[in-house]
Amino acid sequence: MRSINMHEAKTNLSRIAEEVAAGEEIIVAKAGKPKMRLVPIEGKRKNRQLGLLKGKIHVSPDFDTPLPQNIIDEFNGMNP
């Protein structure tokens, strides 16, 4: 990892971008104080595989039936 000043970064942006893309990390400083770190973008994300859990999860047929009133009351703090 190396450090460069802001002026050098602006003047040589194309060359610096190529170096970063090749894997080098570069710190850009202004008035001697680090302001940013240039790092390469990680590899492409893998696409999600749909249906990965097909047949492994079971949803009960009564999944969306209303809850009994006493449970609703307890949830709302009405029944200690």
* pLDDT, tens digit only, all 80 positions of the chain: 899 999 999 999 999 999 999 999 999 999 999 999 999 988 777 788 888 888 898 889 999 999 999 999 999 988 66
Indicate the DSSP class of residue 8. H
Report the pLDDT value the prediction gives residue 79, as an integer from 0 to 100: 66
The count of domains in the chain is 1
Report the pLDDT value the prediction gives residue 50, as an integer from 0 to 100: 85
E runs forming strands in the chain: 2-5, 26-30, 33-38
Q: Is residue 57 part of a domain?
A: no
For the whole prediction, is pTM greater than 0.75?
A: no
Here the CATH number for the domain that contains residue 31 is: 3.40.1620.10
Please say whether the beta carbons of 27 and 37 come within 8 A.
yes
Angle, alpha carbons 63-72-78 (nearest 5°): 170
E runs forming strands in 13-69: 26-30, 33-38
Q: Is residue 65 part of a domain?
A: no
